[in-house]
Amino acid sequence: MRKVLLWLPLALFGLLLGVMGHGILHPEQTTIPSKLVGTKVPQFELPAAVPSHPALTSRDLASGKPVLLNIFASWCLPCIAEAPVLEELKAKGVTIHAIAIRDKPEDVARFLTEHGDPYANIGSDVSSRVQISFGSSGVPESFVINGKGIIRHQHIGDIQAQDIPKILKALEEAR
């Protein structure tokens, strides 16, 4: 018994090393999902990001049919990769609203001409205020919202071609 007790501190130290080693080899997950999935979208009213598209308010996200809300920015690289995929979703009949984060009208306009324009309304969120109220932690990010304005699904990062079926399914389920 005494001998076992003598080795106990070393064993505990070994355990601690093990825990630390595990933490180093398997870093914590880096995506922070929004806790608002399953609840109503936060109330907001954003001005138009470009003259060519209408502004965006939370009322536009409770229009009676499911929509995709895309949070993007002209200065965000993965958003460029995502643009053609969003156009494909639009071609399949999906209504896509957008919030442009920390963006100037001329930059958004240039992004739309250069990389494609799948958007219905685009709101401008210059200080990330609405983004934070959605529990979103970066660009690009997308939310599937049902006709009553309840968030049904969150996609973190750019929507890639292989994600299309998943997004369409989430939109179908939100019907």
Partner 1 sequence: MKHFVLTLLLLASPVLADSRMGAAPLANVQLTDVRQEQQAKALMETIRCLVCQGQSIADSDAEMAGDMRSLIRERIQKGERPEAIRTWLIQRYGDWVTYEPPLSVTTIFLWGLPVLLLMMGGGLAMGRIRRTSKR
Binding site for partner 1 (CB under 8 A): 28, 30, 32-36, 73, 75-77, 101-104, 107, 126-129, 132-135, 137-138
Distance CA(34)–CA(134), nearest Å, equals 7
Tokens of 122: 């685009």
Task: Tell me how far, at minimum, the Cβ of 67 lies from partner 1, in Å.
Answer: 20
Nearest to 144 by CA among 108, 104, 110, 95: 95
Q: Which is nearer to partner 1, 101 or 122 (CB)?
A: 101
C-alpha distances out from residue 89 to 17, 23, 92, Å: 49, 39, 5
Q: Which is nearer to partner 1, 127 or 162 (CB)?
A: 127
Report the chain's terminal Cα–Cα distance, integer Å: 66
Q: Which is nearer to partner 1, 63 or 107 (CB)?
A: 107
Q: Which is nearer to partner 1, 117 or 141 (CB)?
A: 141
Task: Tell me how far, at minimum, the Cβ of 166 lies from partner 1, in Å.
Answer: 23
